[in-house]
Structure 1
Amino acid sequence: MESIASKKTQNVRLTSIDMLRGLVMVVMALDHTRDFFHREAALFSPTDLTRTSPGLFLTRWVTHFCLPVFMFCAGIGVFLWKQRGHTSGELSRYLCTRGVWFVLLELTVMQFAYDFNFSIPPLILLLILWIFGICMLAMAALVHLPLRPLLILSLAIICLHNLLDSVNPSRFASAVWIWNLLHRPGVIPFAGHQALITYTVLPWIGVMAAGFCFGQLYTLEPAMRQKIMTRIGLGASVAFLVLRMFNHYGDPAPWSAQKTIGLTILSFLNCTKYPASLDFVLMTLGPAIMLLACLERFTPSAVSPLVIFGRVPLFYFVLHFYLIHGLLALMSFVRYGSAASRFVFNRPPSMGGPAVFPTGFGYSLLVVYSVWLGLLLVLYPLCRWFAGVRSRRQVWWMSYL
């Protein structure tokens, strides 16, 4: 029989993961609000040190933590799902069905959220739900490996995939789309159309598999687990600083001295996300794992915004895109009148929207932050309502929402 102490450990552990996931979801909404609303989002990358400002750079940089934490926590969640008494076969079936579900959502529900248009766009965007789905399908096979070999494999992928950076994609000829899926972002043929791959499989399956192995720590007592977590997070953070300082391996874009100390620091932090480099993963997951250890010492309210957001991640994710785009459409009609109907039913310029948006379209960074905060205020009661529905209705299909 499970002891009272073990049950308490389980409750603290689940809440800490929810809080961490909820925190990065809050930050994620900032990045997507910037994508839709910021007037300079389509003009240049916020990490382009020749054009950006420190405020804009850091607005983008802080959101780099989102996908690594999502992937890592997803891996932990897979381990914990298995620990609830499920077999490896049951886990594989669950991952396969969930993976296919995520891919279908990306191709349908999310494509409409991006452009508010039922026509098939010239370029299909395969973004976050796509890579989650593909990695879950891969994990359906990997969960059958013993834990130690899987840990070695996941760490090898994370640490060594940058050795492939020098491979010229042209050597693969007509099979280059496979390389785009695995390592090099690019455009691939997809069901008679073109699709943009930004998140490649190799680094992210490594992160998800590492999270699965990390889940083993939740079989330990809290004090021991927190100590190990802190050491892992600190070790990853130090490894990032050392690797980045030497500037020889770990990222295809080395940092360089800039005209000011501030810009040099930004260059140091400007690690490659597409594909996620070793430096990028260490820079983001190191602090996140240390924070996870700290969050285990808190016992927040069950209706804390971070807990609520972290418990309904898919609902939050889909809803926040629709709300952001809906708010942009509303503000565009207020600003441009009926003329807004000619462009709001398209992707925003930052996501490859057509050249139908008016000159000067978009808003300042201050407006972006204001819209983001307002968005969170709207999301909270909706997510709290849905979390309540899920807790009251214990049916199998609710786990896919």
Structure 2
Amino acid sequence: MSIPSSSSRLQSIDLLRGIIMVIMAIDHVRVYSGLPAGGPEPGIFFTRWITHFCAPVFAFLAGSAAFFHGLKTTVRSLSRFLFTRGILLVILELTVVRLGWTFNLRLDLFMLAGILWMLGWSMMVMAFLVRLKPFTVGIIGLTVILVQDIFRRVPGLFSDSPQGIFARYWEFVYPSGSEGPGWIWVLYSIVPWVGVMAMGYGFGAIVNMDPARRKNLCLAVGLTAIALFVAVGSAMIALKPIGEDNRAFIFQLLDQRKYPASALFLCMTLGPVIGLIPAAEKAKGRFVNTLRMIGSVPLFYYLIHIPLHHLSAWVVNLLRNGRTGQEWYQTAPFSNVPPEFKWPLWCIYAVFAVNVILLYFACRWYATYKTTYTNQPWLRYV
């Protein structure tokens, strides 16, 4: 299916976003399989590792998409759109997404501050930052990423107790060792992710340059990030005490901190993608158009893919064990599948393949609907 685009630059955003949306499905199928998020086995390690690209690239491209949206409207209108869409994402996280994960209405069992929560609050912050110049916003974002550990120390300035109410709710901003609010699992803190989105907004100015200059800058930024990741990551491994970590070098290097995302984690994930932007702009073919189409309706994809995986887990469990296993998913994505009922790795990929095909047809319908009924304002939000 061909998706109209006013700019090849928008193609690169939709294409890369489509790729990561597809990859993301692997990890969310894994949630229902009961297999751990990574581990010593190469198969499950790399199954988890490849999905590490999803959150950073999605937040970064959300910032770039905001930049291009701003080219078509006023700063005031862009600010209002980001703030209202941010509120919508937070509400969807606490309602639709939560229900999709668990299929239950017991709020006391599970509540998650997941990726839509993080994106929503980051957009609300961006609603104020976009009043600045893109270069300034990008520098602010990079600074937040580099000095993020300063936020860990903030609760100590206001209270001696790590479990005081300020420290507990500060977990929404950045982990500081507190147990958190108690009524919600804080998976994604706002820092450093708001910095990633701000950096993506600033980077939009580079994507908007003439092709030759854009290519050179993308390659320079991407390769520099990769080089820093390899050099600094390798040095940190070399400085570890002997015997502290006996895993192979490659596993130690690729196992960077995601919660909250360290600067090395972001170099590892964003560097290759930034370097590939020029190639993504020139890519053609039916498969490319399919990924672009999925990338043009990311929120729709996200909202339906979780309940689809949940239903698929019921089917797999019925076929393998004669039971849906719903009791294991009351706190998904922290599922409690007993060891004897965990899926083999091949089963994850089989379900992933089937579900992506189903998601393709659903996204194709919705993308057609959006292009047909462009006069409906709510379609800008979903």
Normalised by the size of structure 2, how large is the TM-score? 0.89
Q: Which residue of 2 aligns with 1:276?
A: 261
Equivalent in 195, 204, 217 of residue 215 of structure 1: 204
Q: Which residue of 2 aligns with 1:396?
A: 377
Equivalent in 93, 107, 111 of residue 98 of structure 2: 111
Q: Secondary structure at the match of 2:184?
A: strand
CA contact (8 A) 2:223 2:275 kept: yes
Q: In structure 2, how many angstroms separate the alpha carbons of the residues matched to 1:205 and 1:365?
A: 34
Q: Which residue of 2 aligns with 1:387?
A: 367
Query: Which has the higher mean CA deviation after the structures are superposed, 326-335 or 376-385?
Result: 326-335
Q: In structure 1, how many angstroms separate the alpha carbons of the residues matched to 2:209 and 2:131?
A: 22
Q: Deviations over 1:21-54 (max 9, x none)?
A: 11111110001111111x433xxx414xxxx211
Question: Which residue identity lines up with residue 311 of structure 1 in the other structure?
Answer: S
Q: In structure 1, how many angstroms separate the alpha carbons of the residues matched to 2:378 and 2:179?
A: 34
Answer yes or no: is 1:332 the counterpart of 2:317.
yes
Equivalent in 305, 312, 316 of residue 297 of structure 2: 312
Instruction: Compute the displacement of 1:326 (Å).
Output: 0.5
Query: Equivalences for 1:47-62 in 2 at 5 Å?
Result: 47=39, 52-62=40-50
Q: In structure 1, how many angstroms separate the alpha carbons of the residues matched to 2:123 and 2:152?
A: 24
Question: Which residue identity lines up with residue 343 of structure 1 in the other structure?
Answer: E
Distance change >3 Å, CA 372–CA 151, structure 1 → 2: same
Equivalent in 318, 331, 334 of residue 351 of structure 1: 334
Equivalent in 219, 231, 252 of residue 220 of structure 2: 231
Q: Which residue of 2 aligns with 1:4?
A: none
Distance change >3 Å, CA 230–CA 257, structure 1 → 2: farther
Q: In structure 2, how many angstroms separate the alpha carbons of the residues matched to 1:358 and 1:273?
A: 26
Which runs of 5 or more residues in structure 1 are unaligned? 1-7
Distance change >3 Å, CA 361–CA 214, structure 1 → 2: same
Q: Which residue of 2 aligns with 1:40?
A: 35
Equivalent in 172, 176, 180 of residue 188 of structure 1: 180
CA contact (8 A) 1:155 1:206 kept: yes
Q: In structure 1, how many angstroms separate the alpha carbons of the residues matched to 2:289 and 2:201?
A: 26
CA contact (8 A) 1:73 1:211 kept: yes
Equivalent in 72, 76, 81 of residue 69 of structure 2: 81
CA contact (8 A) 2:155 2:166 kept: no
Aligned Cα root-mean-square deviation (Å): 2.6
Q: In structure 1, how many angstroms separate the alpha carbons of the residues matched to 2:127 and 2:150?
A: 26
CA contact (8 A) 1:236 1:282 kept: yes
CA contact (8 A) 1:256 1:264 kept: no
CA contact (8 A) 1:9 1:222 kept: no
Q: Secondary structure at the match of 1:274?
A: coil
Instruction: Compute the displacement of 1:293 (Å).
Output: 1.9
Q: In structure 2, how many angstroms separate the alpha carbons of the residues matched to 1:358 and 1:171?
A: 34
Equivalent in 161, 175, 179 of residue 166 of structure 2: 175
Q: Deviations over 1:296-333 (max 9, x none)?
A: 12234497321111011011111111110001112223
Q: Which residue of 2 aligns with 1:240?
A: 229
Q: Which residue of 1 aligns with 2:144?
A: 157
Distance change >3 Å, CA 255–CA 297, structure 1 → 2: farther
Q: Deviations over 1:183-214 (max 9, x none)?
A: 1176533xxx6101111111100000000001
Query: Equivalences for 1:279-290 in 2 at 5 Å?
Result: 279-290=264-275
Q: In structure 1, how many angstroms separate the alpha carbons of the residues matched to 2:213 and 2:172?
A: 39
CA contact (8 A) 1:127 1:197 kept: yes
Q: In structure 1, how many angstroms separate the alpha carbons of the residues matched to 2:163 and 2:329?
A: 38
Q: Secondary structure at the match of 1:351?
A: coil
Distance change >3 Å, CA 256–CA 283, structure 1 → 2: farther
Q: Secondary structure at the match of 2:256?
A: coil
Normalised by the size of structure 1, how large is the TM-score? 0.85
Q: Deviations over 1:331-382 (max 9, x none)?
A: 2233343x5476266344x5155xxx55512210111111111111111111
Distance change >3 Å, CA 166–CA 101, structure 1 → 2: closer
CA contact (8 A) 1:117 1:345 kept: no
Question: Which residue identity lines up with residue 12 of structure 1 in the other structure?
Answer: S
Answer yes or no: is 1:120 the counterpart of 2:107.
yes
Q: In structure 1, how many angstroms separate the alpha carbons of the residues matched to 2:258 and 2:359?
A: 28
Q: Secondary structure at the match of 2:111?
A: strand
Which runs of 5 or more residues in structure 2 are unaligned? none
Q: In structure 2, how many angstroms separate the alpha carbons of the residues matched to 1:206 and 1:366?
A: 37
CA contact (8 A) 1:18 1:306 kept: yes
Equivalent in 378, 382, 389 of residue 358 of structure 2: 378
Q: In structure 1, how many angstroms separate the alpha carbons of the residues matched to 2:242 and 2:267?
A: 16
Q: In structure 2, how many angstroms separate the alpha carbons of the residues matched to 1:120 and 1:165?
A: 29
Instruction: Compute the displacement of 1:272 (Å).
Output: 0.1
CA contact (8 A) 2:12 2:277 kept: yes
Distance change >3 Å, CA 243–CA 255, structure 1 → 2: farther
Question: Which residue identity lines up with residue 104 of structure 2 in the other structure?
Answer: N
Q: How many residue pairs are counted as aligned between the two chains?
A: 371
Question: Which residue identity lines up with residue 10 of structure 2 in the other structure?
Answer: L
Answer yes or no: is 1:23 the counterpart of 2:19.
yes
